[in-house]
Amino acid sequence: MSDEFYIKRCLELANIAIGNVNPNPMVGCVIVADNKIIGEGYHQKFGEAHAEPNAVKAVFENHGQDAERLLKQATAYVNLEPCAHFGKTPPCADLFIKHQIKKVIIGNRDPFSGVDGKGIEKLKNAGIEVISGVLDTECRYFNRRFFTRIEKQRPFIILKWAETANGYFATLDGHQKWISGGLAKRLAHQWRTEEDAILIGKHTAIMDNPQLTSREWPGKNPVRLVIDKSLQIPSSNHIFNKEAKTIIFNEIKTDVVEHVHYIQMEDMHFYLAQKIAFQLYLMDIQSVIIEGGANILNQFLQADLWDEARIFTSHNSWDEGVPSPIINGNVIEQINIGEDKLTIYNNINK
């Protein structure tokens, strides 16, 4: 099998933990000897063992007393450079050195300052052959949330909305009226399990009273983020229930009341998108879905602070309504979700 085959297998393994390792990257590791996979693993949960020790552990579980011999002649594949520093776990590069792995093949070099070539250097200094940059573009896209946070000091920002066939986003009177169908809703709940947080504005919170949970898909709930400058949302609103942590950005107070965190910001009518993006970076929130309303979505669009947009288009039309935001991006995918069409864009400026 080719190096690319095994790196793709690393990505398959790493993807199992999507949404569970943030703000760490998703990493998989495959160990090969005699053209056979002898062990594989992935980083399963933030704070727990990385992919490399899980793969080495699998070698010992699969091969017992023969494991040490096999490791000395093995090639280890990993989609991101092994770490070289002590964090919540020991350095993975040291583990490969300890077991005298013959060769290490890497997808991406790690942009984090604590690694950034140091893992590769440590492996080479120990006499281990290292090849990096295999499927570099594909691996970078796979960990785009992590790379965005490290390189741009902000979360990966996903815009999401539904619109009618003739381009309406919401009703004129502000009352909730569903646009997309049940399959689109279920997919949106799956997305929530994959990202750290979900953001809405005050108007959406009051008029729609959304729960912002992942109740229709197994997995964790995202952190709920709400913009409420003057703290006008009623305490009976669903966002204040105990289903998930809720953060309220406002101009009045900073406080913590059980699972609800109030974060005070000054002059929220200036550069709001930029302020929120940087605040989320400071909070180690690596990715966020912005669901509206139109004003909030347009603020992030106007600030050019977005990376991906996911737009459901219904086959139904309305006579009138609030016009949908205007997106200017590259179409990277179009698929049918039931009777709706899903179009995914990325930002042409990023």
Residue numbers belonging to the annotated binding site for substrate = 192, 212, 215, 291
Euclidean distance between CA atoms 164 and 324, whole angstroms: 9
Instruction: Cite the beta strand spans of the chain per DSSP E.
Output: 28-33, 36-42, 75-80, 103-108, 129-132, 156-163, 168-170, 197-201, 223-227, 246-250, 255-257, 260-264, 287-292, 308-313, 322-323, 329-337, 340-347
Binding-site residue set: 50, 83, 92, 162, 178, 192, 204, 208, 212, 215, 291
Asked about 52 being catalytic, the answer comes back as: yes
In angstroms, how far is CA 54 from the centroid of its own chain? 22
- Whole-angstrom CA distances from 203 to 208, 252, 291, 292, 305 are 8, 18, 12, 9, 21
Start-to-end CA distance of the chain, whole Å, equals 34
Euclidean distance between CA atoms 75 and 225, whole angstroms: 44
Here the tokens at position 26 are 């998703």
φ, ψ of residue 8 in degrees (nearest 5): -60, -35
Instruction: Name the β-bridge partners of 36.
Output: 33
Q: Which of 120, 118, 140 is nearest to 130 (CA)?
A: 120
Catalytic residue among 4, 40, 52, 121: 52
235 in Cβ contact with 220 (< 8 Å):
no
3-state secondary structure of 278: helix
Instruction: Name the β-bridge partners of 335.
Output: 342
220 in Cβ contact with 242 (< 8 Å):
no
Instruction: Name every residue whose Cβ is closer than 8 Å to that of residue 117 and which is 6 or more positions away in sequence.
Output: 81, 109
Instruction: Name every residue whose Cβ is closer than 8 Å to that of residue 36 and which is 6 or more positions away in sequence.
Output: none
List the catalytic residues: 52
